[in-house]
Amino acid sequence: MNKHLSFRSGNPALNQNTFKGLKSDGSTMTIDGTVNKTSIALIILLFSAYYTFSTSNTNYIFVGLILGIILAIATIFRKHWAPITVPLYAACEGLALGGISAIYESMYTGIVQQAIFLTLGIFAALLFAYKTKIIKATENFKLGVFAATGGIAIIYFISFIMNLFGSGLSIMNIQNASLMSIGFSFFVVIIASLNLVLDFDFIEEASESNVPKYMEWYATFGLLITLIWLYLEILRLLAKLQSRRN
């Protein structure tokens, strides 16, 4: 197993134990195969999201999120199920994202299109930067992103607990247009973006380590988690900026 796979990642689906103990049965994971699987998953997600967004049907948000969590857990603990669970996960998350996007669009016209283009633009730019070695996933880089991601997760958890008691952290409110709130969202978008670099690194190292072919779908799953997080945080940031203008 390549030693780089022991490095840290902020992605819960791609960590130091992800590829541990996996052996190929003859057909191995490749970068091209992962790209193809990722493209398929994104198409499924976009079509699913378009359905709920175009119909403004927010009833599927809760269903999509719950089923998505179940499928995510199943994928993490049964990686060989990934060829089945990951496309289903993409469809369920699409249903939820479409409904969430419809809510944002009803509040701020045009925000969804901006968020989609920014997400895809960041993805393409970081992939280019990684492939051309402009950004290198060094040990210190990974440690920094991992630590920052962990800190953000703690803030999310605190906000979630506070919401259960009828309050919440003000910096998480999309109508809070203070500089501190906007600065926090901007920071989260940066960290979510940098997690893509860690995902790229894991995928590249795994493809050189003769892991089973089904791990192409699992790697796709990891990328989807980061992209969904990035998209939602971009939506939050844009909403705060719109609130500030108004």
Task: Give residue 35's domain range.
Answer: 23-245
pLDDT at 18 over 70: no
**14 located within any domain:** no
Confidence category of residue 191, pLDDT binned at 50, 70, 90: very high
| Alpha helices for 9-165 (secondary structure H) | 31-54, 60-77, 82-107, 111-131, 139-164
Closest CA to 235 of 49, 63, 82: 49
196-215 tens-digit pLDDT: 999 999 888 888 878 889 99
Closest alpha carbon to 221 in 22, 77, 125: 77
Average pLDDT over residues 147-160: 92
pTM, 2 dp:
0.89
Within a domain: 214: yes
Instruction: Report yes or no on 131 lying in a domain.
Output: yes
CB contact at 8 A, 219 and 208: no
CA 122 – CA 77 distance, rounded (Å): 30
- Number of domains making up the chain: 1
Give the dihedral of Cα atoms 230, 110, 246, 55; nearest 10 deg.
-90
Sign of the CA dihedral with 92 first, then 193, 195, and 206 last: positive
Question: Has residue 5 been placed in a domain?
Answer: no
Whether the per-residue pLDDT at 42 is higher than 70: the answer is yes
Question: What whole-number distance in Å separates Cα of residue 244 and Cα of residue 238?
Answer: 10
Residue 3, domain member (yes or no): no
Q: How far apart are CA 1 and CA 16, in angstroms?
A: 11
- Note whether residue 51 is domain-resident: yes
Whether the pLDDT of residue 151 is over 80: the answer is yes
Report the pLDDT value the prediction gives residue 22, as an integer from 0 to 100: 63
CA dist., res. 22 & res. 7, Å (int):
17
In a domain? residue 89: yes
Separation CA 50–CA 55 (nearest Å):
8
Residues whose CB is less than 8 angstroms from the CB of residue 177 and which lie 6 or more positions away in sequence, other chains included: 240, 241, 243, 244
- Residue 46 has φ and ψ, to the nearest 5°, of -65, -40
